[in-house]
Chain A
C-alpha cells in the first residue's frame, strides 16, 4: 500500500482498481517490453544451461559472450537512430571491413615505418584515423540520402558492395597481421581485461552513478512540484541496478587467467607458483567496457541532447519535424556519420580481437546489427527504439549463437535458428504493440 500513498493525487484514483503488479510497473516506470526481453534472454540462458549440462552459465562462457557481443552491440546503438528515422544501413559490415583493413595497414605497415615498431602513439593515431574515416564514409552516405533523395536502402546497398570491394583492393585480398600491442587490448583476451581491482572500482563507480542519477531526477521533479515516483520504487530501482552491475563484475572477476598464461606471468614477475594454481581474475574485458561506455554515451545523445530529440521527432512525423524548423537533412547526415564512426569502433574491436585485418571481416554483420536493433524493439516503421534494447538484442542473438556452438550445432542450422528467432521476435512484438493500444 505504500505505493499509493506517495503517488500524486490524480494517479490515486486510477491505481485503486489496479492490481499489485500493474501498480508496481506504474510506480517504477519500468519499460515492460524491455523487461520482456530480459525474460526471454533468461529463458534462453536457462534453457542452454540445462542443454549444455551447466556449461553455458559459467563465468568463463558469460565472459566470452560479453566479448563476442561487443562489436555488434556497438553498431546496434547507431542502427537504432538510423531505423528510428525510417532509414536503414546495410553497409555497416562492409564499412567495418574497410575501416578495419585501413587501420590494419596503418598500424602494421605504414606507422612502423614512420614511428618505429610498437611506438606508443600507434594505437591512438590508428584509432583516430579509423574514426575519421568511418565518419566520413557515413556522412557521404548520409549526404546522398538527404540531399540527392536516394533511398537509404539503395545507397547503403551500394555501400555494401563498394566498401567490401574497396577492402579487397587495399591489400589485394591479403590479410594484415599482427596488430599493434596496445591496439590489441581493445579486443579483450587475457591482456585486454582490466583485472579484479579495477573492475570493482568501475562497478562501484557505476553504482554511485545510478544512485546519483536517481537522486538528481527526483530533486529536479521536486523543484518543479511534479508527481514523483514512490520512494519505495526508487529504492527498488537503485537496488536492482546496483545488484546487476556488481553481479556482472563478480562474474567477470570469477573467470581466472588460463593456467599456462598465469604461470608465465608468475615466472616473469618472480612470484612463486602456489600449489593449487594462481588465481588471477580477468575482470571486465576492455571491448565490453567500450561497448558499455558507448551505450551510455548513445543513450545520453538520444535522450538528453537536442540531436536525439530531433531524431525521434523526425521518425514520428517527418513533415511535422520539418515544419517545426528542424533541419532534417542535416540530422540525417549526422546520423549516418555517427553510424560510420560506430562501425570504426566495432572495426577496432574486431580487428584487435582477431589480431588481424581480413578481407571478410564484418561480413553479414549488417544483418546481425539490424536484427539486434529490431529484436531490441526498434520499429522499422520509425519513431520508436531504445539503445539499451538494441544492446540487449545483440546479447540475445549472441547468446543463441554461443549456446548453439556449445551444443555443437552446425553453422547452417545456427543460421536457420537465428532467422526463425528474428521473425518470431518481431511477430511477438507486433502482437504486444497491438495489445498495448
Chain B
C-alpha cells in the first residue's frame, strides 16, 4: 500500500483539547480518556493519558517497548481498573464497569500474545464473539427447541459472513490452534468484530506477518472501518502500517504521552525521534 495515495485527514480539536478527524467532529467521540493513569504498587505505569477517538477514526498508539501501550488497552477494557481519570465510551462514564460490560458497551480487542480458544474450531471462535448477539438460553440448547435451531443458523450465517472479510470461510472447520500464525491473528480480529463493537482495539496486529501479509492487513483494516463505520485504535511497531493508515497518532514513552498528531507531524517530531533513536550526541 502506497501511503502517498491516501490523503492525510485533517485533525481538528474537540472541546477537551483532543483531536479527532474533521469528518467526525460533529459527532460525539466514540471514546474519550481524560487524565487516565494507573499505578502498580507505587510504580506509575501510565499517567495523564488524554485521548479522543472519532467515530470512524483509525488511530495509532506507538512508542518504545514498555512505554505503556498495552496498559492503555488493558485500562480501556478494564482488565485493570484505572487508579486515576475517566474513560467516556460513547459519552458514558465507564467507571466500575467490568470487562464483560465494556465489551457489551462497544469495545472489542485483540491481544499481543494471541488468545484464541485454541481447542475449538475457527467457526466456534467466531460464534463465541457472537455470544451476546445470538441469545438463546441453556435449556433451549439442551432440549433443541426452535430457538436453538434459529440461533445456530443465524450464528453460522453471520460467522461465515464475518470470516469472509479475510477470506477464511474455508478454514471454518479447522481447529483454531492449528492455524498458521497470520491466520490466527486475523481470526482474532474476526472474533472481536463479531461482538459488534463501536471501537476495535488491535494490539500489534501485524506482528509476525511478512510484508505482503502486512500490506493485505492494512487494506483490510481500512476496509473494516469503511464498511462497518467503526473506530479502530492500533498498537503497532511496523511504521509503514502506522503511518500508512492511521489518521491520528499518539506516542507514549515511560507511561506519558510525548506527542500527538497526524502521521506527518509525528514523523518530524524531534521528541519522537529521540525516544526511538536516542539523543543525538553534542558536537
Whether both chains belong to one complex is answered with: no
Chain A residues near B (Cβ < 8 Å): none
